[in-house]
Chain A
Amino acid sequence: MTRLTEKEHGGQVVRPTLRMAALVRTGWLVFLTLLTLVILEYVLFLVLDSNLPLMVAMNVADAALIMYFFMHVTRIWRRKESA
């Protein structure tokens, strides 16, 4: 059932297994960063009496990471519509 085809990326033909490995690595890095930020937020809650500004900044960072890497917000400007 698995079907992998070679595709051009930046003028170079990239092997799909390598491309998939890079995507998976990016996914894990983003997830671990998000998890670290959430744990850090919990630690801030435990140690600081007033954490609201810091917490908002961290939430914005969380949202930006998800929107950029997972939601591919920049792809809104691509030429072709996918079917």
Chain B
Amino acid sequence: MAVVAEVQEEAQRPPAHEEPQRPAMNQVGLWLFFFSESFLFAALAIARFVLAGTDRPEELNQGLGLGITSVLLLSSLTAYRAESAIAQGDRANFTRNLLATILLGLVFVFGVGAEWITAEFDVSEPYGTAFFSMTGLHATHVISGVVILALVYRLALRGHFSAESHWGVEASVKYWHFVDVVWVFFYPILYLMTW
């Protein structure tokens, strides 16, 4: 009887191509994580305007700001290429682009470090409080992104991941892009916006 019931159930089920689309739970979890993180970054961005309006010190290194932003955007391109490559089963291209992403991430972190060392404003000033908080929290995320990508790279060298199974790569690369999206807002808020 159980077999008959199963067959009847199978017969009543719509064909696969007619099944309603459902969100993949791993994707939903990751996007919810990004959503919750975005509140933290938004709070810091609002604090910047509350503390210092759109004021900024004249001695802010605009060239360095533009430079590190370009580096982070380029790292998003290499991360995208790494993910695309493993999705096609192209392991050589995958590991090469993953390594490039890690190196570009480190360049960004060193750029932020240089900005911190050479900054002629103090953390006790309203703008300084906002600047060091925002860049500090963001840089922490970049560093954690670099560590995650380095772990993925190590696993890739040991033969993990394939065209059929690469959720680890996809999730870590998405995290990297999220960190890029945050900087896309932080850069003008700290360096460029005027009112």
Contacts and interface: CB of A to CB of B under 8 A. Distances in A.
Interface of A: 1-5, 16, 19-20, 23-24, 27-28, 30-31, 34-35, 38-39, 41-42, 44-45, 48-52, 55, 58-59, 62-63, 66-67, 69-73, 75-83
Contact of A82 (B77, B170, B188): B170
B61 to A, nearest CB: 13
A19 B7 CA distance: 40
A38 B73 contact: yes
Interface residues of B, number: 50
Contacts of B170: 82
Given A2-B93, A67-B177, 8 more contacts: A2-B89, A2-B91, A24-B81, A35-B70, A39-B66, A44-B192, A59-B185, A77-B22
Contact of A2 (B19, B74, B90, B185): B90
Interface in B75-131: 76-77, 79-81, 84-85, 88-93
Contacts of B69: 38
B175 to A, nearest CB: 10
Given A31-B77, A81-B25, A82-B165, A63 B185 contact: yes
B92 A2 contact: yes
B89 A71 contact: no
B64 interface: no
B42 interface: no
Contact of A4 (B90, B184, B187): B90
Given A50-B194, A55-B188, A81-B26, A70 B70 contact: no
B22 A79 contact: yes
B56 to A, nearest CB: 10
B194 A76 contact: no
Contact of B193 (A35, A51, A73, A82): A51
A31 B70 CA distance: 9
Contact of B19 (A4, A79, A82): A79
Given A59-B184, A59-B185, A63-B181, A70 B79 contact: yes
Most central of A3, A70, A80 by chain B CB within 10 Å: A70
A25 B24 CA distance: 28
B39 interface: no
B84 A24 contact: yes
B174 interface: yes
B88 A4 contact: yes
Interface-centre pick from B25, B27, B31 (highest chain A CB count, 10 A): B27
25 contacts: A2-B90, A2-B93, A3-B163, A19-B88, A20-B93, A23-B84, A23-B88, A24-B81, A24-B84, A31-B73, A31-B76, A38-B73, A42-B62, A44-B192, A52-B54, A59-B184, A59-B188, A62-B184, A63-B181, A66-B184, A71-B177, A72-B174, A75-B27, A76-B27, A83-B164
